[in-house]
Amino acid sequence: MAKRLGIALALLMMLTLPAAAEMAKGTVKEVDKAGQTIVLDDGSRLWVGNSELVAGDAVQIIYETRGDKKIATEIDRRAKLNDGTESTNFGARFQ
């Protein structure tokens, strides 16, 4: 009985593991407000919900893949400084 309970618990824990987060970084190429998506300069399409992003924004996005969609969980607009480095002075926004 204890062995079965242990196996059941192990299986339950494996099924409840959170999805692995991934990161995308680039410049926003397209914004689809109706579809709530953006396309980065590398061609990546991400679902961002209602967002204030516009084409040309430099971003770093943390996302989870759910099915065939990349769903943004954190969006960080990045400002380019005069020396070419990037700043995160806009702060992170969560979806």
Collapsing DSSP to helix, strand or coil, 92 comes out as strand
Nearest to 40, CA basis, from 26, 57, 23, 54: 26
Report the Cα–Cα distance between both ends of the chain, in Å, rounded: 44
Residue 11 lies in a domain: no
Q: Quote the pLDDT of residue 14.
A: 59
Identify the pLDDT of residue 37. Answer: 95
What pLDDT score does 95 carry?
44
DSSP codes joined into one string, 14-83: HHTPPPPEEEEEEEEEEEETTTTEEEETTS-EEE-SS----TT-EEEEEEEEETTEEEEEEEEEEEEPTT
- pTM of the predicted model over 0.85: no
In a domain, 2, yes or no: no
11-25 pLDDT, tens digit each = 666 555 555 789 999
CATH number where 55 lies: 2.40.50.320
Q: Does residue 54 form part of some domain? A: yes
Residue spans of the chain under pLDDT 50: 91-95
Say if 25 falls within a structural domain.
yes
Query: What is the count of structural domains for the chain?
Result: 1
In a domain, 7, yes or no: no
Q: Is residue 61 part of a domain?
A: yes
**Cα distance between residue 48 and residue 93, in whole Å:** 11
Task: Decide if 10 is inside a domain.
Answer: no
| Residue 51: predicted pLDDT | 83
DSSP structure class, residue 84: S
Instruction: Give the residue numbers spanning the domain of 48.
Output: 20-94
Asked if 19 and 71 count as a contact pair (C-beta separation under 8 A), the reply is no
